Structure 1
């Protein structure tokens, strides 16, 4: 593509494409491409002018080379561009807003007075209807106050004031709808599935395939803890399926042969054989949008409080108007109170502030499923961390494989990988990766694989029972024994590692030593969280006390608990809540799911188990634990903004009422200032709570 540089400073280039304007699809395509260039830090595409701006670091020559290599005809690139980017939605609401303002001011300038009065009367019917419907329901709420203010202005012949009030109310409605839909769309895009691999049933074996290669009528196998990647009909197996991503209902539903299952739901218990009815190209985007819009999770208690307070203030506004007229017999002063209501700004700015904070979280790769969870994070005093995959890196490695009973080290690693690949978790992924690294390929050699939550895996190979899992699972639950004469070797196992035990026919066959490197930022994250208001940081793990103590010492947590079961984590969370503290739980595994559900805000790491992400209220990308600090700061900023909005609305409108009673402000001026303040506070609520430069 030939480009023409319009303006340039060091690290920033504005350029024109060969096209005078771009379609939404072309703009999205160019935006996506610019984001893939190595040296480009940020980019923005303006479809109306066909221009784009890139900010870059490093070599200017390389950036220019990348820009000129772009082509709008690149079919492969077109297929990679995400759907529903939000650009089209943004354009629709920009046009609505511009059209509304343009029509209003053109009519004000050029429309004769009689026609202007007729136009205002017709336009007022919408507000009158809403007010009458409220009265019909025997409720004195905000629409009644709006209708009264507009109606009185029209009766007094004050067409300008009535028009201004209606314009600002309409603009407010557009802005609220725009912000709401954008926030919902951003959230839905982040929740859309990106399943890369699928187990496909071929004969008696299960073959791991790319999701894009799966065709309609293929039979796929979904194991416990995994997400169902495609729509289909159950043709075998039985499972409890969590459908919260589609229905908003967290109670799992039983699915058996003949039942229809949906992509995006997760298998909590059991496993299913599913005949595919929708290929990988099918999207759950629209269903996710519907779920979010209908779910009460979007509502924080402060939003509900704002709406409740707003409605309760309406009768007071009417009483103030009547009392002022009774005392002063001055219609102008009475109308000054009617034109000013506290409720409008409260009802408009609070939901916008919450949804804008949710949208802001998306900028930092943090997915929040509802406003009440931001509120919970802001109020939280206790944070509970699972160790593996959270404090430690999400990609542990196998440091050593120690065989027992004279068995082959390579064969034991091969067998462990064969079992672990069915239930992806950070440690399971490490075992599979090590086998692949050493070229230890395997065919499926086992029968049905059963996963025992927080304990391990059980299967049969060559008619022998094979178990892999924790010390508790292998030696206490399953009563496996150490091969005779190897007790000393067992006592001298390396310390400082997470140990995974493999047993065959009731006898220990191998111990896999998992090295779980501590995240670089884990040493500072506890102090950083406490600076944001967290008082207690706890680490819980199924690992041994020695391993847990070493990690706890490095991170500086207030307390740690080792060798815990999933129910222990959930019990601790419930105990903290019973003592009056709001709790955040951070985890990434299937075994963290009970605690994630129990917490006021459950936070899952996106690289972990799919079930954990499904159950969690918030998901972070897992690239950097400082996302938790960012989340807490956004939540704190949201609460400060909401309380600041309350103070401003009450103070400013009380001032308008006082000036109106003193005869300083006319009713029209009071209405204009009130509505401008409402619009201003709503626009301010749409801005980010954090300074990105500081971040």
Structure 2
């Protein structure tokens, strides 16, 4: 074990020494005409170089793996038997030098991921009763308050409790722009305070922070193999023994030992083995740089085949920044009714509820807060509550129907008017009498329409919107965004039913959403996509996470998946074509052991460099997007 560690550590020095010895050997032969020196020096070079290769081969054999190193080791032994020390020296040197170049170029494909881990904060300035003290980030607990000044890195996920400043959130969203943060705003670990100072109360620390989860997801993704990689792994297990058998048959038929040894060298499947993994690592790295987390090679494969995209509406197609734009009251005690609505909605974090709270607080003023004696949230419908011996229902039409509450002709007319204007509606009834109707509007996310059109050009054939909102509002949004199919008034389990129906019809389905209600659909789809601004549950159950919560990022993710799959196929073709070229060259006599190894190592570098093109990949739609510049957009928790 120690010998193997030593050789691994000094492989580059061994490669350099072998190269120098080969040069000295050829100088001895052609400059000084000293043939014995030529043979001895090249024999020594071969022995020095083959030792680390043979040890790797033996380690693989112990684990019942027939490796490329085994083929090279046997080929070197054969070259020694026939006295071709020049061939064995050159073959081992090229193999070691190729491994060196391979590791260097592969490192470049991992730079984006390494850059993430390098950004991970290690210390924090803890605010205490005695002042401040610098501590390790692992020593910060939930509820602690930390201080971050200009140029400092936020060490925790939390809420700003004092101060203000501009943050660079590139480590989270992949987009380098400054975001204004002030009291009550949410901030994330790994972001940098470009200007100002913040006191932050920690809500998530250590491995629970958003940034730590990003690093964990990306690192796990690298180890998750695609179908192509799994196939190649199985193929390699049989391929290497097959090459050994082929070489033996060649010797039996031709009695040409040199030819048999050359078959071993030419049969090395290096480019085939490395082609798929390096493409997936480069693709995942490209996504990580842009705040797109793709959870592994198999996800890339499936995502590239998606033909049906299913979308949630509120918080996904729309920004979730809702506001009450229409309001109707059917009670003389308006302020009391508004305050009652705000109090009940305060038990929920739904965007529509937040809009009602904001509106009620602005309109009703200071009114005594009623006491809720019992509440029940019905997913996809609304909330039931008991207040001062009154039964209150607040939610959508399905909620009222379930409680046998009907609307008058005027109330129905008002409701339809709001819905035809594209507004979401929330109805509040007290003791089975409708008191309030809220018409709530939400803005569609920027560039959604153009992004959906771009996705269609990339191969998405069918767009479906599933929403718990009413039919009129859903239809208005669908018309504006040119969505092919829409289903409204759905409960979470009904959304899952539609997703499963689409899958059963033979479609490859992706579902994109952001809330807890979306998690079952995200989990059931072939590919689940979560907006990074959504809940932890949605992110944990998804296959792809868009930390920017933007549709241009979705276009890039889908285009990247398709390009990565294509790149993998290109690499597999290059590898197979190389082996075919070498075998044909062997038959016609223009490829020999050393030249074959040179071509073999060159093919490995070709597939690596081909995969590296993915690092800077952009879709056609990306080129139409404006260059990101610092802004002062305020985001609140």
Report the TM-score when normalising by structure 2: 0.71
Which of 340, 346, 354 is 2:266 aligned to?
340
* Structure 1 residues 648-659: aligned runs within 5 Å: 648-659=574-585
| Bigger mean CA offset, 340-349 vs 651-660 | 340-349
How far apart, in 2, do the equivalents of 1:396 and 1:309 lie? 55
How far apart, in 2, do the equivalents of 1:578 and 1:369 lie? 24
Gaps of 5+ in 1: 1-95, 193-211, 218-227, 231-262, 265-277
Which of 287, 302, 313 is 2:239 aligned to?
313
**SS of aligned partner of 2:206:** coil
What are the Cα deviations for residues 264-314 of structure 1, in whole angstroms up to 9, with x where unaligned? 9xxxxxxxxxxxxx9755344678756765679822212212222233322
How far apart, in 2, do the equivalents of 1:477 and 1:316 lie? 69
Which of 108, 111, 114 is 2:19 aligned to?
108
The answer to whether 1:694 aligns with 2:605 is no
How far apart, in 2, do the equivalents of 1:123 and 1:173 lie? 17
> Is the contact between residue 465 and residue 485 of structure 2 (CA under 8 Å) also seen in structure 1?
yes
- Report how far residue 101 of structure 1 moved: 5.2
> Is the contact between residue 97 and residue 174 of structure 1 (CA under 8 Å) also seen in structure 2?
no
- Report how far residue 542 of structure 1 moved: 1.5
**SS of aligned partner of 1:491:** helix
How far apart, in 1, do the equivalents of 2:71 and 2:365 lie? 75
- Report how far residue 476 of structure 1 moved: 2.6
- Report how far residue 340 of structure 1 moved: 2.4
How far apart, in 2, do the equivalents of 1:342 and 1:439 lie? 78
The answer to whether 1:603 aligns with 2:532 is no
> Is the contact between residue 466 and residue 504 of structure 1 (CA under 8 Å) also seen in structure 2?
yes
> Is the contact between residue 467 and residue 503 of structure 1 (CA under 8 Å) also seen in structure 2?
yes
> Is the contact between residue 153 and residue 161 of structure 1 (CA under 8 Å) also seen in structure 2?
no
* Structure 1 residues 427-442: aligned runs within 5 Å: 427-434=352-359
- Report how far residue 559 of structure 1 moved: 1.4
- Report how far residue 425 of structure 1 moved: 4.0
What are the Cα deviations for residues 377-411 of structure 1, in whole angstroms up to 9, with x where unaligned? 11111111112222233323221333333332x55
Counterpart for residue 169 of structure 1: 99
How far apart, in 2, do the equivalents of 1:573 and 1:363 lie? 31
Which of 397, 410, 413 is 1:488 aligned to?
410
The answer to whether 1:282 aligns with 2:206 is yes
Counterpart for residue 618 of structure 1: 544
- Report how far residue 520 of structure 1 moved: 4.5
What are the Cα deviations for residues 156-211 of structure 1, in whole angstroms up to 9, with x where unaligned? 53223212213323543565577468548749989x9xxxxxxxxxxxxxxxxxxx
The verdict on how the C-alpha distance between 1:127 and 1:516 changes in structure 2, with shifts beyond 3 A counting, is same
> Is the contact between residue 469 and residue 501 of structure 1 (CA under 8 Å) also seen in structure 2?
yes
Counterpart for residue 372 of structure 1: 298
The verdict on how the C-alpha distance between 1:476 and 1:187 changes in structure 2, with shifts beyond 3 A counting, is farther
How far apart, in 2, do the equivalents of 1:181 and 1:298 lie? 18
How far apart, in 1, do the equivalents of 2:401 and 2:222 lie? 44
How far apart, in 2, do the equivalents of 1:312 and 1:406 lie? 83
How many residues align structurally?
A: 520
**SS of aligned partner of 1:359:** helix
> Is the contact between residue 187 and residue 359 of structure 1 (CA under 8 Å) also seen in structure 2?
no
The verdict on how the C-alpha distance between 1:137 and 1:371 changes in structure 2, with shifts beyond 3 A counting, is closer
Counterpart for residue 75 of structure 1: none
RMSD: 4.0
Counterpart for residue 633 of structure 1: 559
- Report how far residue 654 of structure 1 moved: 1.1
**SS of aligned partner of 2:568:** helix
Which of 446, 450, 457 is 2:383 aligned to?
457
- Report how far residue 583 of structure 1 moved: 0.6
How far apart, in 1, do the equivalents of 2:109 and 2:59 lie? 26
- Report how far residue 670 of structure 1 moved: 0.8
- Report how far residue 150 of structure 1 moved: 5.0
* Structure 1 residues 143-162: aligned runs within 5 Å: 143-149=69-75, 151-152=77-78, 156-157=84-85, 158-162=88-92
**SS of aligned partner of 1:514:** strand
> Is the contact between residue 448 and residue 481 of structure 2 (CA under 8 Å) also seen in structure 1?
yes
The answer to whether 1:568 aligns with 2:568 is no
The verdict on how the C-alpha distance between 1:439 and 1:545 changes in structure 2, with shifts beyond 3 A counting, is closer
Q: Which has the larger radius of gyration?
A: 2
- Report how far residue 430 of structure 1 moved: 3.5
Counterpart for residue 171 of structure 2: none
The answer to whether 1:349 aligns with 2:275 is yes
The verdict on how the C-alpha distance between 1:655 and 1:465 changes in structure 2, with shifts beyond 3 A counting, is same
Counterpart for residue 590 of structure 2: 664
How far apart, in 2, do the equivalents of 1:382 and 1:478 lie? 36
**SS of aligned partner of 2:311:** strand
How far apart, in 2, do the equivalents of 1:361 and 1:296 lie? 12
The answer to whether 1:472 aligns with 2:398 is yes
The verdict on how the C-alpha distance between 1:298 and 1:99 changes in structure 2, with shifts beyond 3 A counting, is same
How far apart, in 2, do the equivalents of 1:683 and 1:98 lie? 25
**SS of aligned partner of 1:557:** coil
- Higher relative contact order, chain-length normalized (CA < 8 Å, sep 6+): 2
**SS of aligned partner of 1:384:** strand
- Report how far residue 645 of structure 1 moved: 1.1
| Bigger mean CA offset, 344-353 vs 430-439 | 430-439
- Report how far residue 602 of structure 1 moved: 0.8
How far apart, in 1, do the equivalents of 2:438 and 2:229 lie? 51
How far apart, in 2, do the equivalents of 1:118 and 1:460 lie? 90
Which of 48, 57, 60 is 1:131 aligned to?
57
* Structure 1 residues 500-579: aligned runs within 5 Å: 500-579=426-505
**SS of aligned partner of 1:299:** coil
* Structure 1 residues 21-170: aligned runs within 5 Å: 104-105=15-16, 108-109=19-20, 121=47, 124-136=50-62, 138-149=64-75, 151-152=77-78, 156-157=84-85, 158-170=88-100
How far apart, in 1, do the equivalents of 2:69 and 2:351 lie? 54
What are the Cα deviations for residues 546-604 of structure 1, in whole angstroms up to 9, with x where unaligned? 22222222222221112122122211221222222211111122222111111111111
How far apart, in 2, do the equivalents of 1:180 and 1:121 lie? 33
The verdict on how the C-alpha distance between 1:636 and 1:387 changes in structure 2, with shifts beyond 3 A counting, is same
- Report how far residue 147 of structure 1 moved: 3.9
